[in-house]
Amino acid sequence: MSQHRGIWRRQVHLFTLPYLLLLASPCVGFLPDFWSRVLTLSWDSHTHQYITERAILNVTLETLSGLKKHHGNHDKEEVRSCLQSGDLLSNAASVSRLGRGFWRAVGEVVKSNAATDFRSSTRSDPVYHFDSEHIESATVMLRRFWTHTVLSVRAKEYQSARHSLGQLFHSLQDFYSHSNWVEMGQSSIYLHLLQPDEPAVPVAKDTPTCMECFSTTCRNNLLPRLKTTQENSQLLTTGYFSTFPPKPQGKCSHGGILDSSRYLGAKGGINKDSTSPLFSPHHYLHLKAATLATEATLTVLRDLRDSVGHRNFLNVKQVPALVFVMDTTGSMFEEIHAARLRAQSIIQSRANSPGQLGTFVLVPFHDPGVGPAYETDDPGQFMQHMEELMALGGGDEPEMCLSAIQLALTHSPPLSEIFVFTDASPKDAHLFDVVKALSLEKQSKVTFLLTEDPNYTKESRGRLMRRKRRSREPLSPDRFNLYSSLSSLSGGLTIFTTNSDIHRVSTIVEDNTAADKVPK
């Protein structure tokens, strides 16, 4: 029986190891997620995912509870309105009542955190992981992530904020796993990392830091000065990982079976990434490191809440902007009037849904002028700006439409609805790939309302014939193909109509917006 059990264990190990190495080879921090904990057989390890999710959940519930106490029962609707766009309910007592929007937002932060271990540009860079004693440059980068996160939230660029916040969390959490902070007997977080005014501990740049260790568990392999609790004598160090940068003699390694530098003097390692001796020579300190990493993550979230305000902190989901790109050449009088009516109708519809007004963007264009982009959160000001649009001059083929769409995408948040009113083909077709990439990156829909039929022939009447007489060149029936391709790729529509039908057909703008509210 024992022989069969031994064979079974060897088979399991042989089966697991290739997957383990495939998953973990770029990982140089706390294990990234649940599956890495499974494959390393360290079930009680705290992962980046676990630390991040619990911290966000705790601070969110703490914030909601504080809002309830502050507003009282008589102001429940105001609290509910504050949380509407994030699909969070004002009852903070139950985790189950946090909406899908909340968990989707948390997932974006977690994904960005884990990607630091797998992205080619970051997985081997010691600055992103506090490896190889790059403590000072890693601290500078942490502060940049913090600044970017705060500015993104204030600019209502929530996806960008979640991306930088995930990167910040990864590096910050790695500090406690990769440094000797825990071994120095510290019971509180290292405030200097994000607060320059707090005292700094010097880095042991030219000082040996480790003794040789010849077992999987490395106890007491740090030199005495790297473990002292006396503040004036303390030095910080972090382990070297792999062969870049080269590890100087006498320095500590990251350690574990994935770290080739563990064979160089001083042999062994000091990482506390998991509870597995196979991967973490200081596995016995993993829980202490994870506790401090969690406290540091909580502190960042509370500081972020205090910096941007409770409302912005809880606004986990960006309300898409309503964007109009308007051809303002002389032939566009009816289209401009129809766009005004549709914008007014959509604004009135959104006004009945708290938290759904969002941003309004207007980009006019003709030839050769484009813009400027007008952006506001005030629907009244937006409508006033729409009223000031005039159809003047121009009227010939083609126009600078793609330039205007590029400007609109630049000024609008992700997941926005962009409606283009024109009767001309693009003069700037060379921008198609740029505009396509930008629309896909922002996941914004581009819908075209074209008051020109691409199937008209030489015998057709009306504006097409007048244009042909002016240009003395036949208009290609394929001249709107780029618009059709862009709308199809972005999930929008291309609608062909005429001046006489534009008011009726433009109702599709209202219907499409109403049917595609912010996903919950």
How do residues 148-204 score in pLDDT, each as one tens digit? 999 988 877 888 899 999 999 999 999 999 999 999 999 999 999 999 999 999 999
> Do the beta carbons of residue 431 and residue 410 sit within 8 Å?
no
Other CB atoms within a 10 A radius of the CB of residue 440 amount to: 12
Per residue in 43-69, pLDDT tens?
688 899 999 999 999 998 888 877 666
pLDDT score for 35: 54
pLDDT above 50 for 514: no
Element (H or E) spanning 35, and its range? helix 34-39
CA distance 425 to 28: 52
pLDDT (tens digit per residue) in 441-498: 888 899 888 876 444 434 444 444 444 444 445 556 678 899 999 999 999 888 887 7
Q: What is the dihedral of CA 510, 512, 517, 520, to 10 degrees?
A: 160
Is the pLDDT assigned to residue 23 strictly greater than 60? no
**pLDDT at residue 244, as a whole number:** 87
pLDDT at 139 over 80: yes
User: What pLDDT, on a 0 to 100 scale, did the predictor assign at position 204?
Assistant: 96
Measured CA to CA, the distance from residue 27 to residue 177 in angstroms comes to 13
- Residue 4 token pair: 């069969």
What pLDDT score was predicted for residue 97? 60
**376-418 residue pLDDT tens:** 878 888 888 888 888 776 555 788 899 999 999 988 887 888 9
Q: How far is CA 93 from CA 66, 73, 96, 99, 100, in A?
A: 12, 15, 9, 13, 17
- pTM for the whole thing? 0.65
Other C-beta atoms closer than 10 Å to the C-beta of 189 total 22
Q: Are strands 374-376 and 360-365 parallel, antiparallel or unpaired?
A: antiparallel
Q: How many CB atoms lie within 10 A of CB 515?
A: 7
Taking each continuous run of H as one helix and of E as one strand, the counts in the chain are 17, 6
Name the DSSP letter for residue 74.
G
Q: What is the mean pLDDT of the chain?
A: 80
Query: What is the per-residue pLDDT across 95-129, written as a single tens digit (0 to 9) for each?
Result: 556 667 788 889 999 999 999 998 999 999 999 99
Q: Is the dihedral of CA 298, 303, 304, 308 positive or negative?
A: positive
Q: Which CATH number fits domain 322-453+478-515: 3.40.50.2300, 3.40.50.720, 3.40.50.200, 3.40.50.410?
A: 3.40.50.410
3-state secondary structure of 334: helix
DSSP H or E run through 336: helix 333-351
As a whole number of angstroms, the distance between CA 172 and CA 192 comes to 12
> Which one-letter amino acid corresponds to residue 274?
S
- Please say whether the beta carbons of 28 and 117 come within 8 A: yes
pLDDT score of 78: 43
pLDDT at position 198: 96
Torsion angle, alpha carbons of 366, 368, 369, 370, to 10: 80
Q: Where are the domains of the chain?
A: 33-65+99-201+273-314, 322-453+478-515
How many other CB atoms are found less than 10 A from the CB of residue 7?
A: 10
Among 12-16, 230-234, 341-345, 473-477, the range scoring the smallest mean pLDDT is: 12-16
The string over 149-173, giving b where at least 16 C-beta atoms fall within 10 Å of a residue's C-beta and e elsewhere, is bbebbeebbbbbbbbbbbbbbbbbb
Dist CA 274 CA 47 (whole Å): 8
